[in-house]
Structure 1
Amino acid sequence: MKLTVNGVEHDVDAAPDTPLLWVLRDLIGLTGTKYGCGMAQCGACTVHLDGQPMRSCVLPVSAVAGRPVTTIEGLSTDGSHPVQRAWAELDVVQCGYCQSGQIMAAAALLKVVNNPSDAEIDEAMTGIVCRCGTYPRVRAAIHRAAELGDA
């Protein structure tokens, strides 16, 4: 089957019910998207499908054929995306495990709401679990990314 990931078309040989996460990591070699729980509960595996944040650990690869998928590697090749810049500027990352999911959810939010309120941020980020508790820094970084613009 053909998948378009980060603007590049890939031919993948996978069972239709294989989770997209494993296709991304094991067959395409994009390891920025993390496995956390395997049940769409933690958000570490968040990618964009048609611009919307989706949990790739439970999304069958057959559901994404012919639709654009963006992973953390596809936001920018050099860390220049406003969300990535804000994350670095405000030193959001602690252990880092959830951060690709956090960044992908934040980028999707800022595509829809260019200056989100705290309540909008909290709603958009619900379900992205950070075991280190960096939630205040995540919120601050989303506000900073909104200031930087062009998310």
Structure 2
Amino acid sequence: MTDSTMLPSGAVGAAGDAATVVAAVSTGLTAGVYLAFSVLVMPALPAAGAAAVAVMQRVNRLAERPVFGLVFAAAAIGSVWILVAPWFTGGGRPVSVTAGAALSFAAFVVTVTVNVPRNRRLAALDASVPADLAAWPRLARTWCRANHLRTGCATAGLLAFLL
């Protein structure tokens, strides 16, 4: 690669290659989960009425299990390694890998700053309480907008990793 396509990076050698593979694969997996919510799960929930709250609460509890947690954390940790290691070890990585890591990490930030707090609010709702049930559509709208954003970030990140 030419110097114009490289950014300084400490993510060189086997550790850098492993971080890139881990970040790319886990970013792709999270992008798929987020996309499934955007195009399948969330559009289906309004038809469930009050049961939608219980369904989403259950989904959120399942999302906190180790399998998804590991994939979610791997995307963030691999991306952070790619972004931070250059400051300590030097070297070079393709700009596309750095962009992929930044976009993947952006999806992580959206998740922890927007989606997770709304998941916590949702967990406190009781669908048998009218005021709580009335709060669900507003929570769902904000959650969906953030989900679309993180889907876009993760998908663009995966595409950048693949370039």
For Structure 1 versus Structure 2, the TM-score category normalised by the shorter chain is: under 0.3
More strand by share: 1
Structure with greater contact order relative to length (CA < 8 Å, sep ≥ 6): 2
**Max radius of gyration: which structure?**
2
